[in-house]
Structure 1
């Protein structure tokens, strides 16, 4: 079978794409390839200087804007400054298996970076989106467990990997509920999931699980890991599709439409999570 690569990206001239966390790793590769295909790429990043240096000399149109998805004030400022159509929003920014920490908003740093912040950002920008929202998740969502009474790890003993898994399951359920609402509203906008497998980036390399460092034969290099995101962002896939590597266990390989874990297809749970998240951050969506 033919393996899909970035060489097969369509002409994206005239399209506007936001990629969060695009200063390095998968986000930077994604931004680079979309710009190469003609898109106007907005990099939403914490360190604008670093991002400018990263894209210096690359072909294409880049717009560097300040965005820290872990800071809801920053998220709202980014959304408030937006005008005009936004064809594709790619929620890529993330952290993995980090120690317990609270943000200025008092939120769990890992949960807000991976899920809560992107939830708020997506809802604030949704009126501008014309094509799709891509949520970068992980195969580890299959091991995630969500406590609706303690989304923000205030009552339970914090565990970095468990918090990561839960946040990535929350992302999958967010896509499910978002697509349900879009379909009910008669919108043509799609919500799509992308898993890079296990990619050898700075995100995973520091994890205490040490899978990336010990078992590199099970992992994707960053260039191939980004392919799932690029495929999800540009190919004609149904709403709430789950795009991930085609290899064993979805850990490595080339992009293909796969199936999310059973817990990620629970529509009742998805609706309850949406409501609980709104309650946590203040009503930003219906």
Structure 2
């Protein structure tokens, strides 16, 4: 039995993955951004071990979430599932950061750096990451004209970069990225063509299989092509430097 933390598991794919893992007998800790959503999540999944709360758009709350996670005990697996979509205008967080980037990319960085190192890490990305740009000189979309779909694509590319960076720097950790497909969740929209019943299975497999590769990108249980930037050590280092500068959180193993 594994002990697993899933961010953004109050609903959607995170909740689906949690339900499957609980049914398999694993100890699953949920995460919601506030107490109201936490209560709803526990009502839906009463067999979850516990639920942690924290708004990932806030660096302070994300740091606190990492502290809650560590205080609860070591995790075997952390699945970074939480994300927002691309239909919102450019808005800023309490820290003055662009909202999509802060939640989709910066929060996983902070949590990865601060949560006691698990055996496995899984990062939810998207097929849209292949159209992402590495715009480390304008992560907050200050100079560029706002395009929500591009901001989302960029953030999902950063998730793959982070997954591959962890695989390189932490050889004792299995770290992979997943494209769950475009499926009809709240974020994906009702018209999404993918099979919702299949969208959580790859992350469940990566969390529980006896052994998996590390530093791979998966789509429906198979390795899949990914953006070439994700494997560039110089870009990986530059991304970690940018995130460290924004948060004040250094990444273990990176100098």
Asked if TM exceeds 0.5, the reply is yes
2:153 to 145, 151, 165: 165
1:276 to 224, 242, 246: 242
Q: Secondary structure at the match of 1:42?
A: strand
1:118 to 78, 83, 108: 108
Q: Which moved more, 1:270-279 or 1:131-140?
A: 270-279
1:220 to 195, 198, 201: 195
1:93 to 56, 64, 82: 82
**Aligned-partner Cα distance in 2 for 1:280–1:58:** 35
| Root mean square deviation, CA, Å | 1.7
2:95 to 95, 105, 111: 105
Structure 1 residues 234-280: Cα deviation after superposition (integer angstroms, max 9, x where no partner): 222111121212xxxxxxxxx22323232322222112111122112
**Aligned-partner Cα distance in 1 for 2:31–2:163:** 20
TM superposition score normalised by structure 2: 0.91
TM superposition score normalised by structure 1: 0.81
The alpha carbon displacement at 1:57 in A equals 6.3
What pairs up with 1:130-209 in 2 under 5 angstroms? 130-183=118-171, 188-205=172-189
1:229 to 187, 196, 203: 203
Kindly indicate whether the alpha-carbon contact (under 8 Å) linking 1:75 and 1:117 is maintained by their aligned counterparts in 2.
Answer: yes
- Structure 1 segments (4+ residues) deviating >6 Å: none
Q: Secondary structure at the match of 2:187?
A: helix
The alpha carbon displacement at 1:163 in A equals 0.3
**Aligned-partner Cα distance in 2 for 1:17–1:34:** 9
Q: Secondary structure at the match of 2:122?
A: strand
2:64 to 52, 77, 88: 77
Kindly indicate whether the alpha-carbon contact (under 8 Å) linking 1:21 and 1:45 is maintained by their aligned counterparts in 2.
Answer: yes
**Aligned-partner Cα distance in 2 for 1:283–1:65:** 21
Kindly indicate whether the alpha-carbon contact (under 8 Å) linking 1:90 and 1:135 is maintained by their aligned counterparts in 2.
Answer: yes
Q: Which blocks of at least 5 consecutive residues in structure 2 are unaligned? A: none
Structure 2 equivalent of residue 56 of structure 1: 43
Structure-2 change in CA distance of 1:57 and 1:262 (3 Å): closer
Q: Which blocks of at least 5 consecutive residues in structure 1 are unaligned? A: 1-11, 206-211, 246-254
Kindly indicate whether the alpha-carbon contact (under 8 Å) linking 1:32 and 1:55 is maintained by their aligned counterparts in 2.
Answer: no
State which structure, 1 or 2, has the greater radius of gyration over its C-alpha atoms: 1
Structure 1 residues 181-239: Cα deviation after superposition (integer angstroms, max 9, x where no partner): 112xxxx212111110111101121xxxxxx62xx5x4222x21111221222222111
